[in-house]
Structure 1
Amino acid sequence: MKNKKFYLAALVGVCGALILLSLGNWQIERDDWKQEILQRLEEAPQKKAVLLSDIPENKLEQYLYRRVRVRGMWGTGRNYYVIARTNKKRVCYHILGIVELPTKKYMLVNFGWVGHKQFSTRDRYSADFIGRLRKAPKRYWFSAGHTPDKMEFSSIDPQTIGKRLGIDLLPYYVDHIRPDTGKQPVPIPNALSLPNNHLNYAMTWYALALVWVIVFVRMLWLVRRKSD
């Protein structure tokens, strides 16, 4: 009976170590993914802007972070806000608009930061600007909720906004690139940088796995010694 408990405890220890190691490996994979994104960001400003409507919808993923020229019509007339975004250590909103492309599909446009809501109507007129192509983040069960009645969203969520408006919004968006005139909305910087701490996270998980193994082996040794 004692041996059975001992081996069961050992199994728990091994499973715990494997879980911690797998979390470290996952962070290594995330680091590789982030390095690829950072390389795209570094190369993107050197490449000529591509006309967005010339890119097939199934090829948009290949042009992420590239500068694109957007032509179409401004539509839907309302602003949408992504809440709890920071600019120079101040909490503010990202203000979103919608552009209708020549393909009759719609895409969100991120105009940048505003300190307060600016509800306004946007007349339908031609759009022609340079932007940076981005992919909307995935939504998970633990993601913060939206407040659509107030036009407030916790993330850029084309699916939810599109359903509310009854339009087909692509799962991408464009950062509106323009000079900073000192007026709101404050534009997204032309040179985009992203933090990469995944390697540090991986080392933390590996260190925890090592500590877990040392502590568990020590505990098992004491239990075995006591039982003897």
Structure 2
Amino acid sequence: MFSIPVVLIAIALGTWQLSRMEWKKEQIALRTDRASASAISFAENYPNEVADPQADEFINVWVEGEFLHDKELIMGARSLDRQLGIQIITPFTLTDGRQILINRGFVPSELKDPVQRPEGQVEGVVKIEGLLRVDGWKGYEFVRPVNDPEDNFWFYTDIKEMSLQTGLSNPVMSIYLDAGPAVNPGGYPLGGQTRIALVNNHLEYVITWYAMALILAVIYFIYHYRPVGKLEDE
């Protein structure tokens, strides 16, 4: 009553991890291919809205327009090479009047105040290259932190709430942009923060669950096995 259900559960979990491993491989390949492709014009390829943000995520695009630095947003709890910091998300007005949020990249905690990095607050029309991203919390729901719009502190991107908080009036794209690795004046924000190479240790889990199922099955067999001679004596 105990062994057989546990063996079946272990086999099921191993099979699930196997499918997760294949999905992770596909995701890494997709991100790598799209991120390494030449950037396409956002204005030309998305003249209206992005019809299917999920399908177009990680496509490399370039946009042209102006940053709205006075509406800068702070996304916290970030680190880079063991250095604590934040990421800067800035609304960007495209030359056609539409607006899109751009994650400009990492900034050390001591440079949180834009006054400390004036060179990076580029003015005028600029051309930015980056990857299309879908907003929302990417982890498990039960550990999702709560954004704090009042203090302008965000743990994850929420385009609707961020747009309301900054008072953006023009149409805001339902997808945002992770800025590429191009160096900003003064060095910060530091772009190119998109996770491309995901951790893929699912093979270890596959081996673990299948091994548990096999070991338990062997123990079950040994425990119940009786040699023919012994059965006759009994």
**Which AA in structure 2 matches 1:186?**
P
Structure with greater strand percent: 1
Q: What does residue 118 of structure 1 align with?
A: 113
Gaps of 5+ in 2: 116-122
**Is it true that 1:95 corresponds to 2:96 in the alignment?**
no
Offset at residue 90 of structure 1 (A): 0.7
Taking the aligned partners of 1:135 and 1:87, their CA distance within structure 2 comes to: 20
Taking the aligned partners of 1:162 and 1:223, their CA distance within structure 2 comes to: 65
| SS, match of residue 197 in structure 1 | coil
Taking the aligned partners of 1:99 and 1:180, their CA distance within structure 2 comes to: 16
Cα distance change, pair 10–49 in 1 and its aligned pair in 2 (3 A): closer
Offset at residue 101 of structure 1 (A): 3.5
- Alpha-carbon deviations, 1:157-198, whole Å to 9, x = none? 3233134346554332224454344x25233149x7722432
Taking the aligned partners of 1:179 and 1:30, their CA distance within structure 2 comes to: 30
**Which AA in structure 1 matches 2:196?**
L
Taking the aligned partners of 1:51 and 1:137, their CA distance within structure 2 comes to: 18
Cα distance change, pair 86–11 in 1 and its aligned pair in 2 (3 A): same
- Alpha-carbon deviations, 1:109-145, whole Å to 9, x = none? 122222232167xxxx854322213213442523222
Check conservation: 2:102, 2:178, Cα contact below 8 A.
Answer: yes
Gaps of 5+ in 1: none
| Partner residue of 1:186 out of 185, 189, 210 | 189
Taking the aligned partners of 2:214 and 2:39, their CA distance within structure 1 comes to: 55
- Alpha-carbon deviations, 1:182-228, whole Å to 9, x = none? x25233149x7722432xx23112211221122211332244349x9
Offset at residue 153 of structure 1 (A): 1.0
Check conservation: 2:135, 2:176, Cα contact below 8 A.
Answer: no
Q: What does residue 148 of structure 1 align with?
A: 149
Taking the aligned partners of 2:149 and 2:62, their CA distance within structure 1 comes to: 29
**Is it true that 1:211 corresponds to 2:204 in the alignment?**
no
**Is it true that 1:170 corresponds to 2:161 in the alignment?**
no
Give aligned-pair identity as a percent. Answer: 11
Taking the aligned partners of 1:212 and 1:221, their CA distance within structure 2 comes to: 14
**Is it true that 1:66 corresponds to 2:60 in the alignment?**
yes
Offset at residue 92 of structure 1 (A): 0.7
Taking the aligned partners of 2:131 and 2:60, their CA distance within structure 1 comes to: 6
- Aligned residues, how many? 210
Runs of 4+ in 1 over 6 A off after TM superposition: none
With the length of structure 1 as denominator, give the TM-score of the two structures: 0.74
Q: What does residue 134 of structure 1 align with?
A: 132
| SS, match of residue 20 in structure 1 | helix
| SS, match of residue 173 in structure 2 | strand
**Which AA in structure 1 matches 2:126?**
D
Taking the aligned partners of 1:54 and 1:126, their CA distance within structure 2 comes to: 24
| Partner residue of 2:11 out of 14, 17, 33 | 17
Taking the aligned partners of 1:137 and 1:34, their CA distance within structure 2 comes to: 19
